[in-house]
Amino acid sequence: MIKATVAFMVVWVTAGCTRSYDPEPPAVRMPPAPTLTLATLHALYGSGSGTLEQELVVAGTVTSSDRAGNFYRTLCIEQGGYGLEILVGGESLHSRYPMGARLHLRLRGLALARSRGVLQAGVASAAYNYQELEYLTAQPLVDEHLFRGEVSELPTGKSCSIAELTPERCGTLVVVEGLKHEPLTEESPTLEGYHRFVNSSGEALHLYISPYARFASEPLPTGEVTLRGILQYLSTGDQAGPIIKPNDESDIII
């Protein structure tokens, strides 16, 4: 009896050690049909909104990933050249909502706001909160609003010049070629933080890497590079203009 018990414990412990802690993909549910495009959402609510009471549904393809830590508790979706960032609130989102997955978002009960030029959807904050939106932290709340469909091809991003990186494109996945690192002030020798890159015409953009990203300590690339990532935009400050936020180190192409 003792031998059998020990054997059972060994099997149980071994299974526990090899088990993944990533959450399981969400159950397949019939998504609500889209009632408007992301382009229309931008046209109607591009400056933000209070809590939406209408039964509005949008859909798009996931273009961001939190696997490498440069995105945290958010998902970006894209449709027809327009983007939307969803403040989901969970971790390991890449396991449940991988890049290339089609998502439907029910907007009723949510609010919209802009951050760094990106239109965001989340829960309206309390009056005393300095932030306009909060995360959909409870899984039942996420399941009420977010529906995952099939996974298609991995999105590669739209090739753009720096001049084409307008605020209207914020929240979309873009690719910019022919860039060289050219700081105006002292910058970190690693990828962490903001770094200024220019093209052959002297037009500039910034690359942003969170200090929590797994590749933040990697050295800055030398020579010409191509950058891919989600487009953000700042109107003022040292980093004013377009900002590219990559998903991982593979988006910095030497």
Long-range pairs of 200-203 with CB within 8 A, sequence gap ≥ 24: 203/161, 203/162, 203/163
pLDDT of res. 16: 42
The closest alpha carbon to 41, from 49, 32, 30, belongs to: 49
What is the pTM for the complete model shown? 0.87
Compute CA distances 32 → 106, 145, 148, 253, whole Å.
8, 10, 11, 38
CB 234 within 8 A of CB 243: yes
User: What CA–CA distance (Å, rounded) separates 127 from 147?
Assistant: 29
Kindly report the average pLDDT of the chain as a whole number: 89
- 76-133: per-residue pLDDT in tens? 999 999 999 999 988 899 999 999 999 999 999 999 999 999 999 999 987 666 788 9
pLDDT of res. 126: 79
Where the chain has pLDDT below 50, the residues are 1-21
pLDDT of res. 89: 87
pLDDT of res. 5: 37
Q: What is the DSSP letter of 178?
A: E
pLDDT of res. 90: 86
User: What CA–CA distance (Å, rounded) separates 167 from 42?
Assistant: 12
